[in-house]
Amino acid sequence: MGVDPRSQKRSSHVASRPMRPVKLGPISVPTPVVLSPMAGVTNWPFRVICEEYGPDGLYVAEMITARALVARNPKALRLCRFAPSENVRSLQLYGVNPAIVEQAARIVVDEHMADHVDLNFGCPVPKVTRRGGGSALPWKTDLFAEIISRVVRVCEPADIPVTAKIRVGIDHEHETFLEAGRLAQDEGCAAVTLHARTTAEYYGGHSDWTRIAQLKQALDIPVFGNGDIWGADDALAMVEQTGCDGVAIGRGCQGRPWLFADIKHAFAGSAERCNPTLGEVCRVIMRHAELLTEFYDGDERMAVHDLRKHIAWYLKGFPVGGATRKSFMECESLDDVRCQIDRLDPSVRFPERVVDKPRGRVRFAKKVHLPYGWLDSRTTTHQERETLFGDDPMDASY
């Protein structure tokens, strides 16, 4: 269990020095803040809204399953879309089979899909880890190094930087982050992001920022810190306490895309923060709904259904009442959303009690799901590879 970073938060609310841009190969990230990939959240409509608040960060698409991309799965291809306004097209790939991940990377390069590729070695979800993927994979050092090596070999000639997202380890008896960070650096990664929790900790408790400091000390490439950044002051505190080169934002921006503006101001040494009224938040909701409609090729019903989880986050803390929230959840069209928005008082201020407070679900994993015998060795056996690289329905569709 990590130390609560909020208990050590600085009180000045401004950076002691402006943050330096981070270079990822040919890409410069002037404000070193990353929108972390989140399944079902970071499609291009949400990325565009976040980027409009903080236009010079890095906004990564939600995880693409390598086998699904190779199979030309329609949902995977939809998730690979980027808006014309996106400054850097960042795509995250997930896979266990190095050959399949390499094929997916080749598609990304040959079809000019992205400017930056991130590799997912941080997902703690059981359906991923039980296949040896996500945050379970760095335990197998041969597999971890091979995936990175193959993807870098494909992307390097196209001048596409490759980065990796990792966790501290499977649990505190099986930590991998320092070794994984060094391997990622040795195999050609341009940067590493560390979510400072183990797989076993899932999203519960507090992330242990001391691990980010350890990784930063161990590597020469940039290190981004991730975990428990709920406001700009948390981002400042993480940088001050760990020396990391930048921060990655996950659940903290759910329903609060303006967090990227707050962090941009904080990193520039300004105390300016966004405190939107309910009316301003509703304008964001409506814009989000319209962009999702475009994302779903004009299908308002699909767009509004996708929007529902975001509305719950946008309205968190506002005194709008359970009946209003239920009505939003029953919307089937853009007009339905407008109708509900028109019933709200636009002058209501953003509630202080939820400012810079945790967002999203705080979920604890009861156990870590791993392939049979996974922890017996740090390298894969021939039999393990045969099992892992077989047909995997979860890996081929969504």
**C-alpha gyration radius of the chain:** 21
CB atoms within 10 A of CB 291: 20
Question: DSSP states of 152-176 as a string?
Answer: HHHHGGGT--EEEEEESBSSTTSB-
User: To which residue do tokens 């009505």 refer?
Assistant: 327
User: Half-sphere exposure of 232 toward its Cβ, with a 13 Å CA cutoff?
Assistant: 26
CA 240 to chain centre: 22
Any catalytic annotation for residue 274? no
Do you know the residue count of the chain? 398
Catalytic residue (one of 50, 80, 123, 244): 123
| Separation between Cα atoms, residue 65 and residue 101, nearest integer Å | 9
Look at strands 64-65 and 90-94 and give their pairing: parallel
Chain Cα centroid distance, residue 38: 5
Strands (E) in 39-89, as ranges, are 58-59, 64-65
Taking the C-alpha atoms of residue 247 and residue 209, their distance in angstroms, rounded to an integer, is: 11
**Terminal alpha carbon distance of the chain:** 33
The CA angle 141-145-150, to the nearest 5 degrees, is 150
> So which residues are the catalytic ones?
123
